[in-house]
Copies of this chain bind each other. A is one copy, B any other.
Amino acid sequence: MRNMDNLNFSPIGNIKTPYQDSAPYQPVDTDDQEFFLQLEPEYATGLKDLDSFTYIYVLYYIDRLKATPKMEVSPPWATSQKVGLFASRSPARPNPIGLSVVRVKKIVGHRVYTSGLDVFDNTPLLDIKPYINDLDSKCDANNGWVQSMDDDEHLALHIQGIPHDY
């Protein structure tokens, strides 16, 4: 059944963030230049025109995680709920590929400044793709099992990493 084991990938650079020992569960936007993608110099030309997009996808390798993936998980902000791993954004996955949608702020050489990214400093960068409105922005998307919870508006703040009082 498995038609290909041991697929090999190499980082194309690193993600720089202020998070050395702890990171938010989801991206927090800031006005600073604290978040950037530092590509290997040979990839600089590949960044041409990327700043014509409002948003980009950042794909990275979740390198700090040593936990064995479990097929049912409880999100940190909804510990009473058990959901399937693939119905969650838990970092403990069979293939630990992280995916975030961020704003492009500016590109300087082989460095891409972005809005907040919920990853540790020096996380290995695997790929960047343009987030194309016609393809990726689904206005009829829902929040799945999250919206069936009692306190879903509150939970939505956690998902989005928006600071709030309680």
Chain B hits for A84, CB < 8 A: 45-50
Chain B hits for A54, CB < 8 A: 138, 140-142, 144
B89/A132 in contact, CB under 8 A: yes
Please, which residue of chain B has its CB at the minimum distance from the CB of A7? B9
| A side interface size, CB within 8 A | 74
Residue from A42, A52, A87 whose CB has the most chain B CB atoms within 10 Å: A87
Chain B hits for A61, CB < 8 A: 4, 7
Knowing A40-B2, A87-B49 are in contact, say whether A134-B160 is a contact too (CB < 8 A).
yes
A-B pairs, top 6 by smallest CB distance, nearest first, are A48-B84, A53-B144, A45-B71, A46-B85, A49-B87, A52-B144
